[in-house]
Amino acid sequence: MNGTLNKVTLIGHLGDNVKIHYFENGNCVGRFPLATNESYINKTTNEKIISTEWHNIIVRNKQAETCEKYLTKGDRIYVEGKIRTRQWVTEEGFEKQIIEIVVSEFMFLDVKKEKTETTQNTEKKNAIDNFTIPNENNNDNLPF
């Protein structure tokens, strides 16, 4: 293969709410941690082991605003993007590095319910109990 490919696909749960930062030019960037889990059975102890990997997710502009508006900690999301490594030096002179996933596409996997089922059932029962048939008025001279 002659070319290279930098592509990441993840499905996971938000570890925190989306933090958004606006720039002077009107653009913005949103950041949030994403947890992915892998489980397996330890063959010697028959114990189920769950391993969690944390990913630093970056969304930009309209995507960032959409994620901030609709996502909360614990929500499940599908993200597609590329790996980016950033390096910098702190004020104290220490070199730092972070690996991030820059999102190109995403999909919310949890459906937000506006009302709980109990509330909906109560409202439905009340609507049925309070339903009345309107009085017929045949004074309009219509044949039907």
Task: List, for residues 84-97, the tens digit of each pLDDT value.
Answer: 999 999 999 999 99
Euclidean distance between CA atoms 71 and 73, whole angstroms:
7
Tell me which DSSP letter residue 64 carries: H
CB atoms within 10 A of CB 66: 15
3-state secondary structure of 67: helix
β-pairing verdict for 48-60 and 28-41: antiparallel
pTM (2 decimals)?
Answer: 0.72
**pLDDT tens digit string along 45-89?**
999 999 999 999 999 999 999 999 999 999 999 999 999 999 999
